[in-house]
Chain A
Amino acid sequence: MPTYHLNVNGSKKKVETEADTPMLYVLRDYLELNGPKFGCGIAQCGSCNILINGRATNSCLLPISSIGNAEITTLEGLLAHKGKLHAVQQAFINEQAAQCGYCLNGMVMTAVGLLNANSNPDEMEIRIAMQGNLCRCGTHARIIRAIKSAVKNL
């Protein structure tokens, strides 16, 4: 089985797995990270989102063989030195923007990806950026509020 050297959350990780293993399974099953969630496995819901070079991407269909040296960030990797939360993470706590929270990983990662590209999005831009992320509990209104408040605290 091939060996891959990945750059995950700022450190080098060695993973030996099949070339077609999607990053979602690499991160959860091999590297024991909990952030990215299995929601559909067909890139329709956003629960598995991670950042690749700062851009939010579905990880459930992304084979490990396609990653190369890209910088991978998961929810866990958003924590700054000494465990300080990213502004988006803090905003989700402040706004209590979760019910079951299963989609929360994807929501936070997509929001961070948005803010990386556009540090001052308006509500319409937020809604468009979040369009690929599904939430069943109906927490959308709180999530929008959380992202808006994160913008102020970036």
Chain B
Amino acid sequence: MKVIPLRSRRKFLKDLGYISVGFTLLGACSGEKDPIISARVDYDGKLPGSMGRAKTVNAWLQILEDGSLRILSGKVELGQGIRTAIQQVAAEELDMDLEKVQVHLAETGVTPNEGYTGASASIQNSAMSVRYAAAAARQELLTLASKQLNTGVDDLLLYNGIVKSIRNKKSLTFGEILEGVQIETEVILPVPIKDYREHRYVGKAIPRRDITDMVRGKANYIQDLRFPGMVHARIVRPMGYTSQLISLDETGLKAEVSGIIKTVIKGSFVGVITEKEHQAVKGEQFLRNHSNWTAPLPFPKSENLYAHIKLIASSPETVKNEGDVARVFEGAETFKATYTKPYIKHASMGPACGIAMFDGEILHVWSHSQGIYPMREALANMLSMDADNIHITAVPGAGCFGHSTADDAAADAALLALEQPNTPVRVQWSRQDEHLWDPYGPAMITELEASLDENNKINSWKTEVWTDSHSTRPNKDAGTVLAARYLENPYEMKSRGYLGGGHRNADPYYSIPNITVNAHYYDGPFRTSSLRSLGSFANIFALESFMDTLAEKAGQNSLEFRINHLEDERAIAVIQKVQALTSSQNTEDGEGIGFAFMRYKNTDAYIAVAAKVSVDKTNGKIGLTRMWAAVDVGEVINMDGLTNQVEGGIIQAASWTLKEQVTFNTTEITSTDWMKYPILKFSEVPEVEVAIINRPTQDAKGAGEVPVPPTAAAIANAIYKACGKRVYDLPITPEKILNA
């Protein structure tokens, strides 16, 4: 087994040779004023889940020979700004300039195994692990320096890579203190962390440095990687999920397309490798036109989708059952509504790309996968290789908003690279492949029923959810990567994946004495997986639309009605904040403002969203003019990063709400490109205003998924206010408003 080189002791010692230069320079600067030591508080809470598998300081950070810091994170940068957030917490704890902190993102054998970059968990897991590791490193550096400088820790200042005695002005660099060894001690609680009141970086709007590289056109994405001798490939995907290759006629391929290196056929997996990229595009077209495939199994009729889902669903599982819903409903007036959400695509701007190179022993893979360690298991099983012989480096990709196609492209590249050893093979998916083979966010049905007591408070509530799996992410089951399902000996995907995501936020956060939540699982006709916020999008659309309906039945203002059912002050605070943001708004005839609230997963961030719309009553045309959000994610790490995520999430969710659905007929998926799967365009994008309630003493929770779920309900409620029409079936279109 070839070990991926970590910084060895010898290497570090050799590099220490450069330190003496740095030391002289530091000496020259010794006239500068010493910084003030920041106050610390002992953190004695829970350590993040990611630390369970990586307990030592050096698993998370390394001190380089020039005194700078290298952070090792098992997460991937996909536009969410995680690299900057991690830099901030590390620089904060070690009192370093941000420029001295570099972040090494996921790489097998190098960074901790942090599972998947998802579930809005990167701040909670990766950034917090780095915070505690950096704080522990600081303690260790002070202890070691105190011995070497023969002085007490109280006499020491630690900043920008040095530890200095206040009394005698002697100082040591981190490199000198560590003498070439990384800090291998475990992070043990309590760990003293910097008092939030003294934060220089955390909680501030720190600009992302990668944006500066982006505007200059510097290589940033996997698509920009170029290796010497790299060749290009495209995959001739089957005609449908269940199609099999009958025949393929390569005659004339080389005459028609130059630069053909080879065609790889493994069962129904077909790839074409070429010298230049556009040759692969043409090669794929040629082979598609010269191949025969079996017809795929038919899909249900599009108009019968939701009936079909109910038909194939298994018997329900009770997710929650408190009080006695049935008893309260008996004889009472109950209110019922059914809400539906179609299949929605990840629809990344950058179609998937994967690069692989087999050197005869190790298979090297470059991927924008959200989970390189779990993907390695899938690849190892598909290829019958030892996982230790697969080395995967995560490279940023375009925003993908959940488990999309990155892993599949990596699997494609891996299969082709084994057929073309010692050559980096780059597979680029087409737009059509991306649109057709993406594992969609599943279609869902949410049925609600509730009753009010004599004080107009909800006394009983029932949710019934119909959902497919919201995560079929790669794991040791090789069938989780697409190509494996089409090989000579195909791997079926064995598990249905994570089912819990389907009823996420199906349980109202409101105080209701009797609640039942049932989940009905179905194994539907389309490939599905995790899409930003999973089932919460459909469930909160339903719940928060329904809350407005119930408020109306109760004769109450919709926000007051919600507040009357909440005990949590943070929840009430975001609602009151969004109320304040919109208080000066006037609405004219045909205009309306709607609201929605959510606490994500009922345990994480709080958000209240407002939407202002105009509806043309003659043709149902919707103008979404403004949106507002008030958000409380606990401690804020990067104020602008958070704001950016929330603004973007609202706009993306507005697009889902007003425009998006996967279209299909009985033989094929028909939304093959951006014309047939339109998303919100500049002319339709609302102005967005975000207010953040920073609570630095509360746990930092992720934000990426948080703005998505309440957006749909806020828009639906605004439309109802504007024109008295309520649409229960997403997307909300002018036709549906006219027919409501």
* A residues whose Cβ falls under 8 Å from a Cβ of B: 1, 17-18, 21-22, 25, 28-30, 32-35, 37-42, 44-45, 47, 74-76, 79, 83, 85, 89-90, 92-93, 96-105, 108, 126-128, 130-131, 133-142, 144
Q: Mark B664-697, 1 if CB is under 8 A from A, else 0.
A: 0000000001110001111101011000000000
Q: Do A105 and B399 form a contact, CB below 8 Å, given A93-B207, A127-B683, A142-B647? A: no
Q: Is the CB of A102 within 8 A of B682?
A: no
* Contact indicator B679/A34 (Cβ below 8 Å): no
Per-residue A-contact encoding for B640-674, CB less than 8 Å = 1, 0 else: 10001101111110010000000000000000011
Q: Give, as a whole number of angstroms, the nearest-CB distance from A5 to chain B.
A: 19
Complex CA–CA separation, A143 to B376 (angstroms): 37
Task: Please judge, given known A-B contacts A134-B349, A142-B647, whether A89 and B216 are in contact too, CB under 8 Å.
Answer: yes
What's the least CB distance linking B371 to chain A, in Å?
18
- Kindly state whether residue B120 has any CB partner on chain A within 8 Å: no
A98 in contact with B649 (CB, 8 Å)? no
CA–CA, A100 and B396, complex, Å: 8
CB of B79 within 8 Å of the partner chain: yes
**How far, in angstroms, from A22 to B428 measured CA to CA in the complex?**
16
- Return chain B residues, CB-CB under 8 Å to A103: 349
User: B59 within 8 Å of A by Cβ?
Assistant: no
23 contacts between A and B (CB under 8 A): A17-B278, A21-B278, A25-B276, A25-B277, A37-B223, A39-B351, A42-B431, A75-B215, A75-B216, A75-B217, A76-B217, A92-B214, A98-B208, A99-B644, A100-B78, A108-B215, A130-B682, A136-B347, A136-B679, A137-B79, A138-B647, A138-B680, A141-B688
Contacts A89-B215, A100-B398, A138-B649 given: A44-B79 contact, CB under 8 Å? no
- Docked CA distance A85–B226 (Å): 25
Contact A38 B351, CB 8 Å, known A18-B258, A99-B399: yes
Contact A104 B214 (CB under 8 A): yes
Given the complex of chains A and B, what is the CA–CA distance between A102 and B347 in angstroms?
Answer: 13
Question: What is the interface of chain B mostly: helix, strand, loop, or mixed?
Answer: loop
Cα separation A138 to B681 with both chains bound (whole Å): 10
Residue of A at shortest CB range from B347?
A136
Residue from the list A18, A33, A131 in contact with B278, Cβ < 8 A: A18
6 pairs of A and B residues whose beta carbons are closest in the complex = A100-B79, A138-B651, A138-B648, A100-B399, A102-B398, A35-B217
Instruction: Determine if B423 is an interface residue (Cβ-Cβ < 8 Å).
Output: no
CB nearest to A138 among chain B residues: B651
Contact in complex: A92, B211 (CB < 8 Å): yes
User: Which B residues are in CB contact (< 8 Å) with A33?
Assistant: 217
CB distance from A96 to the nearest CB of B (A): 6
A residues less than 8 Å from B277 (CB atoms): 25, 28-29
Determine whether the beta carbon of A136 is less than 8 Å from that of B349.
yes
CB-CB under 8 A from B644, the residues of chain A are 96, 99, 139, 142
B219 at the interface (CB under 8 A from A): yes
| Given A1-B258, A25-B277, A142-B644; 4 other pairs, CB 8 A cutoff | A85-B215, A93-B207, A93-B215, A102-B79
A136 touches B215 (CB 8 A): no
Q: Which of A32, A42, A108, A130 has the most CB of B within 10 A?
A: A42
From known contacts A38-B351, A136-B652, infer whether A93 and B674 are also in contact, taking CB-CB under 8 Å. Answer: no
B348 within 8 A of partner (CB): yes
Q: Which residues does chain B contribute within 8 Å of A92, judged by CB atoms?
A: 211, 214-215
Nearest B residue (CB) for A132:
B681
B682 touches A38 (CB 8 A): no
Contact partner, B650, options A21, A38, A138, Cβ 8 Å: A138
Q: Is B79 touching A101 in the complex (CB atoms < 8 A)?
A: yes
- What's the nearest-Cβ distance from chain A to residue B169, in Å? 40
Q: Which listed residue (B399, B428, B640) contacts A137, Cβ 8 A? A: B399
A30 to B279, CA, bound (A): 13
Bound-state CA distance A97–B232 (Å) is: 32
A32 touches B80 (CB 8 A): no
With A37-B350, A127-B682: A99-B645 Cβ-Cβ less than 8 Å: yes
Chain A positions within 8 Å of B396 at CB level: 100
Which of B80, B276, B687 is close to A17, meaning CB atoms less than 8 Å apart? Answer: B276
Q: Chain B residues with Cβ under 8 A from A134's Cβ?
A: 349, 674, 679, 681
Closest residue of chain B to A41 (Cβ to Cβ) is B431
- Provide the residues of chain B in CB contact with A74, threshold 8 Å: 217
Q: Report yes or no: A102 in contact with B350, Cβ–Cβ below 8 A.
A: yes
Determine the chain A residues whose CB is within 8 A of the CB of B218 once the complex forms.
34
Min distance, Cβ A102 to any Cβ of chain B, angstroms: 4
Q: How far is the CB of A98 from chain B (nearest CB, A)?
A: 5
B495 within 8 A of A: no
Inter-subunit contact B685/A141 (CB<8 Å): yes
Which of chain B's residues 365-397 have a Cβ closer than 8 Å to chain A?
396-397
When distances are taken between beta carbons in the complex, the residues of chain B under 8 Å from A40 are 351, 431, 673-674
Q: Does the CB pair A39–B349 fall under 8 Å?
A: yes
- The residue in chain A whose Cβ has the minimal distance to the Cβ of B688 is A141
CB distance from A16 to the nearest CB of B (A): 11
B647 touches A96 (CB 8 A): no
Q: Does B281 contact A (CB under 8 A)?
A: yes
CB pair A96–B215 under 8 Å, yes or no, is no
Q: Beyond A76-B216, A99-B645, is A135–B349 a contact (Cβ under 8 Å)?
A: yes
Q: How far is the CA of A38 from the CA of B433 in the complex (A)?
A: 14
Residues A34 and B220 in contact, CB atoms below 8 Å apart: yes
Neighbour of B221 across the interface among A21, A30, A98, A102, CB < 8 A? A102
Known contacts A34-B224, A38-B223, A45-B674; A144 and B278 CB within 8 A of each other: no
Give every chain A residue within 8 A of B276 (Cβ-Cβ): 17, 21, 25, 29-30
The answer to whether B428 touches A101, judged by C-beta atoms less than 8 angstroms apart, is no
Q: Does B210 contact A (CB under 8 A)?
A: yes
- In the assembled complex, the Cα of A79 lies from the Cα of B275 at a distance in Å of 31
The residue of chain A having its C-beta at the shortest distance from the C-beta of B278 within the complex is A25
Which residue of A has the minimal Cβ distance to B650?
A138
Most chain B Cβ neighbours within 10 Å, of A29, A89, A141: A141
Report B-chain residues with C-beta under 8 Å of the C-beta of A141. Answer: 647, 651, 685, 687-688
Cα(A45)–Cα(B219), bound, Å: 20
B657 CB to closest chain A CB (Å) equals: 12
Between B215, B652, B674, B679, the greatest number of chain A beta carbons within 10 A of the residue's beta carbon is seen for: B215
Inter-chain contact B399/A136, CB cutoff 8 Å: yes
Shortest CB–CB separation between residue B531 and chain A, in angstroms? 12
Give Cα A42 to B694, complex, Å: 44
CA distance A34 to B223 in the complex (A): 9
Given the known interface contacts A22-B278, A76-B216, the answer about A136 and B348 at a Cβ–Cβ threshold of 8 Å is yes
Residue B401 CB within 8 A of the other chain = yes
Q: What's the Cα separation between A144 and B214 when bound, in Å?
A: 18
**Beyond A44-B674, A76-B216, A131-B683, is A96–B640 a contact (Cβ under 8 Å)?**
yes
- A35 vs B277: C-alpha distance when bound (angstroms): 16
Q: How far is the CA of A100 from the CA of B682 in the complex (A)?
A: 18
| Residues of B contacting A79 in the complex (Cβ-Cβ under 8 angstroms) | 216
Q: Give every chain B residue within 8 A of A128 (Cβ-Cβ).
A: 682-683
Asked if B474 lies at the interface with its beta carbon under 8 angstroms from chain A, I say no
Residues from chain A with a CB closer than 8 A to the CB of B647 are 138-139, 141-142
Give the residue name and chain of the A residue nearest to B353 (CB).
A38
- Nearest CB to that of B689 among chain A residues? A141
Residues of chain B within 8 A (CB-CB) of A138 are: 647-652, 655, 680, 685
